[in-house]
Chain A
Amino acid sequence: MLTYRIGIDVGGTFPDVVGIASDGSQTLAKAASTPADQSEGVVNGLANLAKALGLDLATLLGRTERIVHGTTVATNALLEKKGARLALLTTEGHRDVIEMREGLKPERYNMRMPAPAPLVPRRLRLPVAERLRADGSVLTPLDPASLAAAIEAAKAEGVEAVAIAFLHAWAQPVHENQAAEAVRAALPGVFVTTSAEVLPQIKEFERFSTTAVNAYVGPVVSRYLAKLAGRLEGAGYAGPLFVILSHGGIAPVEEAARLAVGTALSGPAGGVAAAVALAKEGLGQDLITFDMGGTSTDIALVVGGEAALGRGREVGGERIALESLDIVTLGAGGGSIGHLGPGGTLQVGPRSAGAVPGPACYGQGGTEPTVTDANLVLGYLDPANFLGGAKTLDLEAAQAAVARLAAQLGIPPLDCAAGIHALVNARMADGVRVATVRRGVDPRDSALLAFGGAAGLHATAVARELGLKRAAVPLFAAGLSAWGMLHTDLRYELAQSAVGAGGIPADAELRRLFDSLESQGRSRMAGWYQGEVTARRSADMRYGEQVFEIAVPLDGIAWDGPDLAGQLRAAFHARHRALFTYDLPEEEVVLVNARVAVVGALPMGEAARREGASGPAAPLGTRRIAIDGMVQEAPVFGFDALAAGQEIAGPALIESATTTVLLRPGDAARMDGRGWLDIALT
C-alpha cells in the first residue's frame, strides 16, 4: 500500500497541492481560491488530490505521513494591515523606536510621500519605568506601579496582543519576563510576546519591530493554524502538520504559531527550498531562482548548494530581522501593463492588471496591454490551449490592446508587442544583476532556474542578457513550491548577541554561549522529532566600529582546541577577504551575534526518474511566432511527453498544462531524466 507526503502552497492565486507517493510518483492538484479562509481552500485542494489519485479524502489522509503547508496568512495580515490590535510595553524614554525607523525614509525625491502609520500608535506604546545596561545589569529596577498602569491602559483599549520590548533585553530578559508574567495574569487570552524570546539580538529597532510584528500577526496565525488543524483532523488526518518558515526550513504548527512572524515569507520559501533540493539532485551548485508570477517575480540565489539567508527583510513596510531566505521581489510579472510613461518612453509596470480585470486576453474587461497579451500576440501562447485548455484567450482583445499602445508610440503593433516582451526581459535581468552584485555573486557562473506560470517564456532571454550559459525549467514548474516543501528539513534558528566593549569573548565564554544555544535548540527539536539532528554554528562579526556585520560560517572550528577566539578571528578575516577582496589583520574584530541552526533531517523519498524507452516525442504541431524581428513557424512540443535525453533546438515551444517554455534561436534544450528541461545558451 502506498503512503503519501503532501505539500500545500497557497502562495499563488490558486492553491497548489502536491502529493508524493512512497513509490516516488507525484501528483498535482489545484484548489479554488478562498481568500476569506485559506484553510477551506486547503481541504478543498486535498479533496481534489484524493480524487486525482482515485481515493476518498479520509483514505488519502489516513495514508498520509506528513503534510507541509506554506501559508500567506501572516503576509496578508501585514500587507492588508489586518493584524491584531496590540499594545507595546517598552522602556520609558524610548517609546518611539518603531516609528522613528532609524531616521530612514524611502524614495529620496518623493517629498510628498505620506509617512506610514506605525503598527502600534504612540498612545498604545506604553512606557514602563525600568532600565538595563548593555552588560545586562540593572540600572533602574522595574517599577511595579508603572507596569500596572501600562497593563491597565492596554486593558482599557481592549487589545488582543501585547508585545514587550525593553532596551538591552537581548542581554538579560529578567524585566521582560516579569512584565510578561504580569500581563498574562491580568489579561488572560491575550497573545503575549517578548523581544528576548523572539530575537535576543542587539539593535533595538530591528528587535522591537520584529516583536511588534509577532504580536500583530500572532493571534491571526494562531487562529488560522488551529482552524486548519481542526479541519484536517475532522477529515481524518492524524499525522504531523508542518509549516514552512521564512528561512526555508519547516516546523510544527505549535512553533509556527508561537513565532508567527517567522511565517511572513512562508509563501515563496517553498520555491527556494525546491531549488536547494534540485541542486542536491544534480542540477548544479549555483542557481538563480526566477519565479515569475502575475504581478511580481521572486529571485533568490543558491550558492554552493545552499540558499542565501538575510536579515534585512521588510514585509508590508515592517522590518523583520529574523533569518529569512534572501528573496528579492521585482514588481513585474505576466500581468504588468505596458504603457507610455510620463517621460514619453515605453514602460512596463509597475502597474499590473492583477487577477481582475487581468490581461486584456482574459476577456474580463482589461483593455491595457500586459506582458501576457504581448506574449499572445507574438504567438508564444496558444489561445485555445491556455492552462491545459482550462481557459481560452481572446487574441483579438490582446491585439487591440497592443495596437492602441503601438499607435501612441508610432510603431507597428508587432514591434510594440516585441518591445513589451524585450523590456520586461531587460528589467528582470537588471533586477537579477543588482541583486547579485549586492550579494557579491558573479551571476555568470550560475544557471537560471525558471518556475512559476510566466517564467518559461522569458527565462532564456533573461539568462542570455545576464551572460549565463544555462537555464533550466523543471517539468513540475507550476507546483514547484509545494514540491519544495516536501524536500526541506526541520529547522530551528537561534541567535544570541554577545557584544560588549571588548572584541570577542574569552574562550570559555564562547564555548558556553554556543553550547547553550545548541542545547536549547536540540531540546526544542527533541520535542518535535526523534531522528538525526545536526547543528551548524555561525557568527555575525565585524571590524571595530563598522556598522554592518557579516555572517561567518564556523564549520571548521576546533571548539575544544586552543585559542578559540583566535580561530574565530581568522575565520572572520578569511570571510571578509572572500566577500570584499581584502582584510585588515591589524584591526579589532568584534563578535556581535552567535548563531546556531539546528536541523532535523527528514526522509525525502526516492526521486522519480523518467524512462527514456519510448523514444523522442514528435512535435504536436507548429505555430507562427514573431521572434528576433522575424515571423516564423516553430514546432510545439508537449512537455510531459518528452523522453529523457530528448534534444530540441530553438526556436520551439514546449507546453504543459501549467506552463509554456519558449526556446529562442540558439537555445539547445535537453530533457533531463531527473525531471527538468536543461537549456544550453549560445
Chain B
Amino acid sequence: MDPVTLAVLDNRLRAIVEEMGEAMLRTSYSQILNSSRDFSIALCDAQCRLVAQADHIPVHVGAMPWAAKAIAEAFPNPVEGDTYLLNDPYFGGSHLPDLTIVIPVFAESALRFWSVVRAHHSDIGGATHGGYNPGATEIWQEGVRIPPIRLGEGGTLRDDLIRMLATNTRIPRDFTGDLMAMIGAARLGEQRLKPLLAKYGADGLEAAVSAILDLSEKHARRILAAWPDGEWRGEAFLDDDGFDRVDVAIRARVVKQGDSLTVDLSESDPQTTGFVNSSYPNMRSAVAMAFAFLLDPEVAKNDGAFRPIEVIAREGTVVWAKPGAPVTMCTSHCSNEIVEAIIRALQHCCPERAMGGWGRRFRVAITGQDARRPGRRFVWHLFQARPGGGGSAGGDGWSTSGEWHSAGGLKFGSVEMAEARFPLLFESHEYRPGSAGDGQFRGGFGGRLSLKVESDGPCRANTAGDGVRHGAAGMCGGEDGKPHHYVLRRTDGTERVLKTKEVGLTINPGDRVIVEAGGGGGWGDPAKRDPAARERDAAEGLV
C-alpha cells in the first residue's frame, strides 16, 4: 500500500470516529452524555480488531472490541440493516450502565466493519437510582442485564424491545433518547465508511487497515524497545468493598522483554462481595489504558498499539469476577487501581514516562424537595471538589481535574447554576491546601467544598466510591496524595465521617457536607523540588 493513500485513509478513519462523537454529543439527551461526555466511539474490522477509537473516556479504550466480539459470537451471520445491543459485563460489556450499540457494515456482500457506540446511561433500573448500588451482592441487584440482542433488522428497530428496556429504567425518556442518539451515531459511521469501501474497494481498505494497525504496533514496540528489560511488581489497594473486606489488593507483575510487555494480575485478591469487582473486558481496558498513558500521546489507539501487551489474569479475582458478581463500580474502581498497580511496577522501568497517581472517585447523590419548586423532587450529583491529577516529569499535576479513568475529560457544572436550580449553598469551593503529594513535581490539588443543604425537609443521600484510606500513589520517590475526607456536619455541630459506600443517608436542612478531595500523587524525590516552586506554593497559600 502506498504511503500517501495510507496516510489519507488513516486520517479519514480517525475523522469518522470523531465525527460520530460529535453527532453523539449533539443528539444525546441526558446530562451525563452531553456534559460529561461519558461515551465512546469505535470502528472495528470484520475480525473485531479495533481500527480507530475517538479520545473520549480513557477507561473505554480497548474495551470496545470485546463488545464487537460478543456480538459476532452470538450472531455469526449478521446481515445489512441489523442493529445489535448489549450491556452485560459477562457478555462483552464493562458494567450495566454502559450500553453498547453495534452495527455491521457491509460491502460486496460481506461483513467489513463494525460501527460501535458505547454510552453511560443515567439509569439502568436495579435497586438504586443511577446504577450504583453499594448494597448489591449480585449483578441482578444492579440493573437490567442485556446480553447480545438483535434490536432491529432491515434498518428498522424493534419498538417493543426498546419499550421493554425503557420500562425497566427510571427515566424512560432519557433512556430512549440516548439510545436513539447512539444508533444515529453508529449509522453515521456506516454512512461514512460506505464511500470509502466503494472508492478503495473492500480488499483495498482491508489492506490499508492491516497496514495502519501494523504501523501502530511498530510505533508502540519502538517505544517499548527503548525501555530496559526486567520484571517489576506493583500493588494498589481499594479501601473496602462496602461489606467485610478492607484493603483489597490489586497486584501487577510486569515483565518487559525486548519490545513486548506481559502484565500479570493473577496474584490480585479474590473477588469481593460488593461491586468493586471488574468484569473481564473492563480489566483488559484498564490495562490498555495504563499502557496508553505511558506511550506517546500520538500513538494511534488501535489494535496494533495494544499487540505488544500480553495479559495474564485469573477468574475469581477482583480484577476478573465470576459470572453473577456485582461490578458496577469497576469503570472507576478497581480500574483506577489496576492502572496504579501497573504504573507502580513500571515506574522503575520508564520513570520519565510514569506519572503520579490520579485521584479516586467518591460520588455523592442527594435527593429531596426544594421549597421554591413544590412537588418536584430534585436529584443532585456531586461533580465539584474533584481530586487532583498526578505530577510527572512534565511538571506538577493538574489540580481538580479528576481521576485516572477520565483524565480531565469530565466537566463539573457551574456553582451559580447549581444554586439557582437546587436548594444548595456552596459556601466555599477552592483548592484544598496540603492535599497534593510532594515530589520533584508535586501532584495537583484536590478540591475542598463546604456545601450547605437548604432543602424543604430532610434529603436522602447515597455515596459510591473509594479512596478515603488510600491516596493517589506517589511515583519515582514522590509521595502519595492525601486521601479523601468527606464529613457530614449537623446543625448542632456534631460531625460524622462519610463512608464511600452508603445508602439511605439522611441529610437535614442546614446540615453541611464538607468535601475534602484527595490530591494527586507526586513524582520524583521531594528533595529535588525547585525551591522557587516551594516558595510559590507557600505564597499561594497551598501548603
Contact = CB atoms under 8 A, between A and B. Distances in A.
A343 B299 contact: yes
A108 B3 contact: no
Which of B216, B396, B410, B417 gathers the greatest number of chain A CB atoms within 10 Å? B417
Given A106-B408, A500-B420, A501-B420, A423 B11 contact: yes
A111 B392 contact: yes
Given A102-B411, A580-B27, A345 B416 contact: no
B298 A103 contact: no
A357 to B, nearest CB: 25
B373 A102 contact: no
Given A112-B393, A502-B373, A204 B415 contact: yes
B3 A547 contact: no
Contacts of A113: 394
Given A430-B11, A433-B19, A501-B373, A103 B383 contact: yes
Contacts of B421: 499, 501, 545
Contacts of A580: 26-27
Contacts of A121: 540
Interface string A540-559: 00000111100000000000
B541 A547 contact: no
Given A115-B399, A423-B7, A582-B177, A108 B408 contact: yes
B420 A105 contact: no
B19 A102 contact: no
A115 B392 CA distance: 11
B31 A434 contact: no
Which of A105, A114, A438 gathers the greatest number of chain B CB atoms within 10 Å? A105
A581 interface: yes
A411 B3 contact: yes
A115 B402 CA distance: 13
Given A100-B447, A103-B410, A134-B420, A422 B427 contact: no
A184 interface: no
Interface in A346-386: 346-347
A123 B540 contact: yes
Contacts of A345: 3, 6-7, 10, 212, 215
A422 B22 CA distance: 25
A300 B386 CA distance: 35
Contacts of B197: none
Given A93-B427, A114-B396, A501-B370, A411 B2 contact: yes
A532 interface: no
A202 interface: yes
Nearest to B407: A108
A649 interface: no
A103 B12 contact: no
B7 A419 contact: yes
A508 interface: no
Contacts of B18: 430, 434
A348 to B, nearest CB: 8
A96 interface: yes
Nearest to B294: A111
B389 A105 contact: yes
A283 B177 CA distance: 39
Question: What DSSP secondary structure best describes chain A's contact surface?
Answer: loop
Nearest to A342: B298
Contact of B22 (A103, A107, A438): A438
B412 A102 contact: yes
A415 B420 contact: no
Contacts of A205: 414
A342 B221 CA distance: 12
Given A105-B407, A204-B415, A434-B18, A93 B428 contact: yes
B290 to A, nearest CB: 10
B189 to A, nearest CB: 12
Interface string B524-543: 00000000000000011110
Given A203-B416, A430-B15, A419 B219 contact: no
B23 interface: yes
A438 B394 contact: no
A548 B408 contact: no
Interface in B380-401: 383, 386, 389-390, 392-401
A341 B173 CA distance: 46
Contacts of B226: none
A546 B34 contact: yes
Interface string B283-307: 0000000001101111111000000
A415 to B, nearest CB: 7
Interface size range on B against A: 35 or more
A123 B541 contact: yes
A426 interface: yes
Contact of B416 (A167, A416, A427, A584): A167
A342 to B, nearest CB: 5
A423 B447 CA distance: 44
Interface in A115-136: 115, 121-123, 133-134
A123 to B, nearest CB: 5
B419 A133 contact: yes
A133 to B, nearest CB: 7
B300 A343 contact: yes
Contacts of A513: none
A441 to B, nearest CB: 11
B408 A203 contact: no
A202 B35 contact: no
B358 to A, nearest CB: 8
Interface in B443-459: 444, 447, 450
B429 interface: yes
Contacts of A581: 27
A597 B29 CA distance: 30
Interface in A570-594: 579-582, 584, 587
A423 B4 contact: yes
A94 interface: yes
A437 interface: yes
Interface in A377-422: 409-411, 415-416, 418-419, 422
A100 B541 contact: no
A122 B412 contact: no
Contacts of A423: 4, 7-8, 11
Contacts of A440: 26
A615 to B, nearest CB: 41
A202 B399 contact: no
B448 to A, nearest CB: 10
A345 B1 CA distance: 11
A661 B55 CA distance: 37
A167 B394 CA distance: 34
B409 A104 contact: yes
Interface in B423-445: 425-431, 444
A104 B408 contact: yes
Contacts of B393: 112
A292 B366 CA distance: 51
A430 B401 CA distance: 30
B315 to A, nearest CB: 30
A306 interface: no
Given A203-B416, A427-B11, A104 B3 contact: no
Contacts of A502: 372-373
A409 B6 CA distance: 12
Nearest to B18: A434
B401 A105 contact: yes
A99 interface: yes
Given A346-B3, A500-B372, 8 more contacts: A109-B301, A112-B394, A113-B394, A123-B541, A410-B3, A411-B4, A430-B15, A546-B31
5 contacts: A114-B395, A134-B419, A167-B415, A423-B8, A423-B11
Interface of B: 2-4, 6-8, 10-12, 15, 18-19, 22-23, 25-27, 29, 31, 34-35, 55-58, 173, 177, 180, 188, 212, 215-216, 218-219, 292-293, 295-301, 353, 355, 370, 372-373, 383, 386, 389-390, 392-402, 407-417, 419-421, 425-431, 444, 447, 450, 539-542
A-B CB proximity, top 7 nearest: A105-B408, A93-B428, A419-B4, A114-B395, A112-B394, A501-B372, A430-B15
